[in-house]
Structure 1
């Protein structure tokens, strides 16, 4: 990936993070637990600002930029449901160039190669 591409991705990520920080906090971030009456719980998405995905890797490193060379700032585990804010092209991982910006407390990038989207396809950043 060229320096120009990396800078463009870094600027995009910084702008998204700044916009997210400027967004007023709300009591319901778009997800809520809903009891089905069978003792179990599931996550429901009501806010179109977020999309859902399921982690397919046993352990997925979440990164500060959409490439493997960036800092690891979190982890997600197989079967975990994550909130996806948007998608962007980044470093190709096993043929897949798409990365998701995750909004699970810490804004971090996860490769779409190991996250299956649930429902609507996430929008572009």
Structure 2
């Protein structure tokens, strides 16, 4: 793994930790271009397609620690996507926000509606 890849992954993990901290303290209110309060960020959804359930991890890598699993067919909330380890020809991973901030391989999550934004 290159130094750039390692640094990128560490940055994404750090961002995930910062995002998790925001859920505890609450986000600061931002102003939009019109000077009013910013709208909530878009909500992205997906359905787990892995027959035996989807393992959620601490980083977008196959070797990172498993945090929990999500059963087949469950609808999950996706915060954003990033590149990580390749899983069956797909290197995209989704940061999920259902209870814990954890990463799931996009290969096993079917988008419902819009494709998630980049992290």
Give TM-score scaled by structure 2 length.
0.79
What is the CA-CA distance between 1:7 and the residue it aligns to?
2.9
Report the secondary structure of 2:101's partner residue: strand
Query: In 2 relative to 1, CA 15–48 (structure 1 residues): closer, same or farther, beyond 3 Å?
Result: closer
* Stretches of structure 2 lacking an aligned partner (at least 5 in a row): 28-39
Look up the match of 1:92. Answer: 86
The aligned residue for residue 7 of structure 2 is 7
* Equivalent residue pairs, number: 104
For 1:11 and 1:48, how far apart are their aligned partners in 2?
Answer: 21
Asked which structure has the greater RCO (Cα within 8 Å, sep 6+), the reply is 2
How big is the shift at 1:10? 2.0
Runs of at least 5 residues in structure 1 that lack an aligned partner in the other structure: 26-46
Structure 1 residue aligned with 2:43: 50
Change (3 A) 1:106 1:10: same
Q: Indicate how the Cα distance of structure 1 residues 119 and 48 shifts in structure 2: closer, same or farther if over 3 A, else same.
A: farther
Aligned partner of residue 97 in structure 2, secondary structure: strand
CA RMSD between the two structures? 1.7
Q: What is the TM-score when the length of structure 1 is the normalising length? A: 0.76
Deviation at 1:72, TM superposition (A): 0.2
2:102 is aligned with 1:108: yes
Separation (CA, whole Å) in 2 of partners of 1:97 and 1:66:
9
Output one character per residue of 1:25-61: Cα deviation in whole Å (capped at 9) or x when no partner: 7xxxxxxxxxxxxxxxxxxxxx643200000002111
Counterpart-to-counterpart distance in 2, 1:2 and 1:22:
30
Which structure: greater strand fraction? 1
